Chains A and B, each alone.
Chain A
Amino acid sequence: MVDKKRKHSKEIIKAEANSLNFSYADGTQALKKISLPVYENKITALIGPSGCGKSTFLRCFNRMHDLYPGNKYDGEIILHPDNTNILDKRVDPIEVRMRISMVFQKPNPFPKSIYENVAYGLRVRGEKNKRVLDDKVEEALKGASLWDEVKKRLHDLAFNLSGGQQQRLCIARALATDPEIMLFDEPTSALDPIATMNIEELMAGLKEKLSILIVTHNMQQAARISDYTAYMYLGELVEHDETDRVFTNPSKKETEDYITGKFG
């Protein structure tokens, strides 16, 4: 179905899914033979209608599905450069989550202080040195363009921030542990246009340091921010290519129908 990989040889592959199947505990097969590369220092966007499996696919990358019994992976996701199959039973999901962090659809800060939210990933890793923590928290908050807004109230409760600030706090939390890949699951769908713009600008800066995989239901967003776009439908990968090409000259009729709004 997929035109067997138009090679983007200029890119370095950071991670790649190889014929990945996934079924939920109730037996529904949500992903069918997905093969997709995630390129280093690039933003890869996953688009497609609701229920097409894009979030399910994203959540395979940090083994989120392991939290719920009965879910089944089949196939592999190889993380480079060490060629670890992160879906392998012998690979601890915690190791995977320490290398690949995630930002969720709804801002989900902990009911703790702003500082503790950002520091949590480091605390989990056993970091106790106050100076190291302070530095990392500041760096991460700067990386999430939130530092100037919160530097005077780091010990306030995170719930007192606005929705957009909360989401940037969650980005800072995911950033503080220097992940190799960051996963974004419709990060702006609960935000207003200005907060959305802030986060899009933020992501454009983040890709200098890491690789990004983002699920979005907003095609304009995918077109604006991503370098590569993958269109999924009913659990299958229909098309994956450079974003410009997908949006101007898609190779598949289905992709074109979805992008032009004839469908979906």
Chain B
Amino acid sequence: MANDKKRVHENNLTLIRSLITKHKKHDHIFAGVGMFIIISLTITLLVLFLDLVFDGYPRFNLDFLTNFPSRRATAAGILSAWIGSALVLIVTFFAAVPLGIAAGVYLEEYAKKNWFSDLIEINVTNLAGVPSIIYGLLALGLFVYSFGLGQTILTAGLTLALLMLPIVIVATREAIRAIPIHIREAAYAVGATKWQVSLHHVIQYSYGGILTGVIIGMARAIGETAPIITIGALTFIAFLPPSPVGLEPPFINFEWLEAGFTVLPIQMFNWISRPQMAFHINAAATGAIIILLTLLMNGLAIKIRYNIRKKIKW
């Protein structure tokens, strides 16, 4: 009798253990496949990046950053391109960020939930996936011709802002939704209005997520080429736009908004389409710089998110 009981017990134990081994197999397989994919992706990116770095190596010096493009490849630099990129991104930032945050807050806090808001939601989400050249065409019709803004930094900045807007809106909404409902109720319970709740709580607690979205959006905008070509950016520019800040009053001017310009990816595109090998070195160096900037911006986004998650935990 006692022996029987012992045997049943042992059988059960063997059964459970073999079951666990079997189930664990799935863990190991999934972890292995995941690891393989991650590593191959990382290596691919790394190889691409290193390839550009090695190709462009001869151009990594200060002259490359401070020279205008030139007919002689070795004397050519990306001065007008990186300044153009920076100025365009400034316009993009100031157009897309306030508008995107406001839209996100409106949709989450104010808009009534009905079929119309659903429609807007689907639209906004889809806009993030629209090919960028479509935005270029839209901008060409709207900003360049209808509004008569011309082929300027302002137009390019606004075009990239269109591109970035859905990213900011979606990031804002997701960050807002992560705020627990009991925090929101606590604010309303002391008599706050919607505006006060949005300003004192919603935006403050979600700015980590919003900022992440903004930086990722900017990182996307910095590498965009198609829409900027569509609106007719110049490819060879040997001058700088008027400086936004001056030494004499009023210190700040806005003439630069109306200047012609080029940006980093267009400069790269221009060089790579030349037959001379020497220019391809320049293109590689520019590409490495663009990737580096993108990586830096994404790294910053991750760092910010990490810091804020450490501070605010619900």
Contact = CB atoms under 8 A, between A and B. Distances in A.
Interface of A: 62, 64, 67, 69, 94-95, 97-98, 101-102, 104, 106, 108-111, 120-121, 123-125, 157, 159, 170, 173-174, 177
Contacts of B313: 159
**CB-based closest 5 A-B pairs:** A121-B190, A98-B191, A108-B182, A97-B191, A108-B186
Interface in B38-55: none
Contacts of B73: none
A125 B196 CA distance: 10
B172 to A, nearest CB: 18
A155 to B, nearest CB: 15
12 contacts: A62-B189, A64-B189, A67-B184, A69-B112, A97-B190, A98-B190, A104-B185, A106-B182, A110-B201, A124-B196, A174-B190, A177-B191
A124 B190 CA distance: 8
B112 to A, nearest CB: 7
Given A64-B189, A174-B189, 8 more contacts: A67-B185, A94-B191, A94-B193, A101-B189, A102-B189, A108-B180, A111-B205, A124-B190
Contacts of A125: 191
A253 to B, nearest CB: 37
A170 B187 CA distance: 11
Nearest to B180: A108
- Most chain A CB within a 10 A radius of its CB, from B187, B188, B200, B201: B188
A112 B112 CA distance: 29
B113 interface: yes
B191 A104 contact: no
A104 B186 contact: yes
- Most chain A CB within a 10 A radius of its CB, from B186, B188, B190, B312: B190
B205 A177 contact: no
Interface in B166-210: 180, 182-193, 196, 200-201, 205
B256 to A, nearest CB: 40
A180 B205 CA distance: 31
A99 B85 CA distance: 55
Overall SS of chain B's interface: helix
Contacts of A157: 311
Nearest to A111: B312
Nearest to A122: B190
B150 to A, nearest CB: 46
Interface in B273-314: 311-313
A110 B187 contact: yes
Contacts, number: 63
B261 to A, nearest CB: 42
Contacts of B183: 108, 110-111
A121 B191 contact: yes
A229 to B, nearest CB: 24
Contacts of B312: 111
B188 A64 contact: yes
Given A69-B112, A111-B205, A111-B312, A124 B191 contact: yes
Contacts of A69: 112-113
Contacts of A94: 191-193
B182 A177 contact: no
A251 to B, nearest CB: 35
Contacts of A120: 187, 190, 192, 200
Contacts of B190: 97-98, 101, 120-121, 124, 173-174, 177
A166 to B, nearest CB: 11
A151 B183 CA distance: 24
A175 to B, nearest CB: 11
Contacts of B188: 64, 67, 97
Nearest to A105: B182
Interface string B191-235: 111001000110001000000000000000000000000000000
A213 B49 CA distance: 66
- Most chain A CB within a 10 A radius of its CB, from B184, B185, B191, B312: B191
Contacts of B193: 94, 124
Contacts of A121: 190-191
Contacts of A97: 188-191
Contacts of B311: 111, 157
A210 to B, nearest CB: 15
Contacts of A110: 183, 186-187, 201
Nearest to B114: A69
Contacts of A106: 182
A129 B26 CA distance: 63
A239 B36 CA distance: 67
Contacts of B113: 69
A159 B310 CA distance: 12
Given A104-B182, A110-B201, A111-B205, A124 B192 contact: yes
